[in-house]
Every structure is written in structure tokens, then in C-alpha cells.
Chain A
Amino acid sequence: MTTKPLKLRELAKGEDRFVHGHRMCSGCGAPIVVKQVLMATDYPIVASNATGCLEVSSCIQQFTAWKIPWIHSAFENAAATISGVEAMYKSLVKQGKLEDRNVKFVAFGGDGGTYDIGFQSLSGAMERGHDMLYVCYDNGAYMNTGIQRSSATPFGANTTTCPAGDVIPGKLQQRKDLTKIMAAHGIPYVAQASPANWMDLMKKVQKAFEIKGPKFMNVISPCNRGWRSKTNDAVALARLAVETCYWPLYEIENGVTKITFKPKEKKPLVDFLKPQGRFRHMFNPENEWMLKQAQEYVDNQWERLQKEAAFFGGEEKAEEK
């Protein structure tokens, strides 16, 4: 199968594989991520889903938003569950019991189900080499249970379990760099993407589907309930995350790091923080150190990433609008 062209008008003619009637909050980033992933290819896809917002809102009783085979079993095991599905596919095809239709296997999980409780299951599935793509929609907290801190929660954020209190002003730890951790598994493809940069995201999905073996994509997924932002700014914030280099767009293919989008002008991190109520306390005069520390972290990570990419020969030119 040839990789399909990513022309909006052509894509729009296609049939949705994730349909309306799902019950995600108004303005949620996750369905945008899911639709872009599924739209990027015409290959048959079977997906698993960790318990979480996406899962509880997309399949309730006899109402499913999925037009592809989909399985949810529990919170911490989307990778293990899909690895079982993939193993059965391999077994049945090998035995001639099932026609090989080049089926692609995808697991969706939020940051809770991926960075934290599902991390072992993810790590195991990647190491075992299943032919699958794991997509983490990272909204930076346990949103489904009511905005509790996760290891993906950024420094400083106010969550319900790390509230900005009188003594402790929100989360004091930096987020876990899961994308790099997945790259350290030595799997053939790891990428970071943003739904605002849809073409970049979909190209990465397309690339992932052409590679045999385990793949991982970390996609930022704004949550207006948890981020204390507006219902209309999911895409705008996903874009600001990229433009401030809080969420750089890059890929690591066979160990080679490549930045896939370099903002013309790196915006200050406050541009990303300011519209989000979860960072409001950081703008109080006594918490100036927090803004400084958050900016320093982003600067260091970005510099490091650029050095890595330079080591392998630089970055790709920006292709977005």
C-alpha cells in the first residue's frame, strides 16, 4: 500500500474511523489526536485503549465511537492487551487460519495509563518487539478521575493532588521525559507530535506504519478542564507548546534524532503558561523563581535536543502553515 497523500480536501472525503456522538468534554484535545492518527492511513487498524477519559467517553453501553475493532480491558495494560491481539493475528496468519491483510495494531493511552501505571506493560511490549504503535495522548494529569498529578504533570502545575497551597506551590518536580525513555528502549521509531501540527503528526503515523516492530508516539493533548483554559483553545495551546519548545516536535528513527519542526522564533514559555489557570499562581511575585525554573528546564531540554539532532546532521525544515 502506498502512503496516502495528506491533502485536506482528499482526507475530508474519507470516512471517519472515530465518529461523533462520543462524550469527551467540549473542546477536548484527545479526539483530535485520535482522528488524526486514524485518518493518516487506510490500513486496517485494530486498537486497544487504556482506561481513561478517551475510553470511558468513546464506548458506553451500546454506543461506540469506534469504527475499527477496539478493545479496552483495564487501565495499566493497553500495551499488553494489544500485544495479545497482535500475537493472535500473527499466529492465525502463520497457521493459514486468517488472511494477512497487513493489519496495524495501535494502543491509545493517556499519560496516567502510559507514563505511570501502564509503564511496565508498555516497556515490556516494546522490548518484546510486537508490531504495534503506542500513542500516548498526554494531557499532563489524571484528568478522568479529576485532575490528579501524574509523572507527566509539568513543573509548577496546580492539580487536585498537588494544589498550589500556602506552603507547597503546586508540583515541584519536572515531568518525566517519556519520549526519551521510550527511545532508550532501542525501538525503531519514537516521535513526539502535536495535533496543531496535523501534517507533522500524520506523517509520523504514516512513517510508523511502514516500519515493522514497536513504535511509540507521544502527543500533547490539551485538556481545558485540567489546564483551566478555555474550551476553544486546545489547538492554540498545542501550537504554543510547540512554539515555546515546551513540546518540541521530533522523531528518533533507528536511534537517529531529527527535529521535525523548528519554530522560526522560540517564544517565551510564559506564552504557553499564561492562558492556563493551572499555572496562575506562578505569576504571583513570590513565585517568580518558578517561572524562571520552568523556563530554564525548557531551555536546557531544547538545547540538548538540538545538540542531539545536530550530532546526526541537523533538522528538517518546517513544513507547516
Chain B
Amino acid sequence: MSKKYWETLPQGSVVLEAGSSAKFKTGGWRSMRPKWIEENCIQCMFCWMYCPDMSVKVTAEGKRAEFDYDYCKGCGICALECPGKKGNKAIVMEEEGK
């Protein structure tokens, strides 16, 4: 006998899959898009530390990689906190869709 939909729900609404929010992509919220300019990046990792959306990818060596646009909400904290190199920011914000 096939189960009714409500019979398939987890007991007591407990979520059994840890970190399952990764299936919910928040990148679509973005109106501003951060752009990483690698030549200005000093790998300080502040953008990674301060990102509220865990949207700065990191290599196996612990170095900064590209933004994770699936989740980045475009708040711009990274760009503001970026110390850059010789006065040139390694992250700039651009209007989404341009």
C-alpha cells in the first residue's frame, strides 16, 4: 500500500540531513555582484572570514578561490573589508545582470 504524503514526513519534524540548506540556493537574491580581481588579492582571507553566506570558495591549500555565486547574496561586506594591494581593491561590486 502506498503511503499518504503526510505519512512520509519525519517524526517530530526532525531534520535528519545535516547541512541540507546547501540545497537551497540564495544566489538569486543578489542585486549587486562581487567581482574578484586576482592580481590585487593579497590572500588575507578577510573576505572569507567575514562572509555571512560562506560564499568564498577556498582551495585545498587554504587559498582564496572564486566566489560561490550559488549562495552569495551580494551584501558587499567582502568588498568593503578588502584591503587590496597598493590601494587597489581585489573585490569590487558590480550591478547584477550588467
Contacts and interface: CB of A to CB of B under 8 A. Distances in A.
Contact of B18 (A12, A36, A61, A67): A67
Interface residues of B, number: 44
Contacts of B73: 25-27
A64 B54 contact: no
Interface in B49-77: 49-55, 58, 60-64, 68, 70-71, 73-77
B5 interface: no
- Interface extent on A, as a size class? 35 or more
A31 interface: yes
Which 8 pairs between the two chains have the least Cβ-Cβ distance?
A: A27-B75, A232-B76, A21-B21, A26-B73, A20-B71, A9-B62, A8-B45, A20-B54
Contacts of A19: 19, 21-22, 54
B86 interface: no
Interface of B: 10, 15, 17-26, 29-30, 43-46, 48-55, 58, 60-64, 68, 70-71, 73-77, 79-81, 93
Interface stretch (A80-88, A98-106, A212-220, A233-241): A233-241
A8 to B, nearest CB: 4
Interface string A53-79: 000001111111111100000000000
Contacts, number: 134
Contacts of B25: 21
B26 A235 contact: no
A218 B18 CA distance: 27
A28 interface: yes
A10 interface: yes
A198 B45 CA distance: 12
A68 B20 CA distance: 12
A35 B54 contact: yes
A36 B46 CA distance: 12
A13 B58 contact: yes
Contact of B21 (A10, A22, A36, A230): A22
B21 A20 contact: yes
B43 to A, nearest CB: 8
A18 interface: yes
Contact of B26 (A11, A20, A62, A236): A20
B20 A63 contact: yes
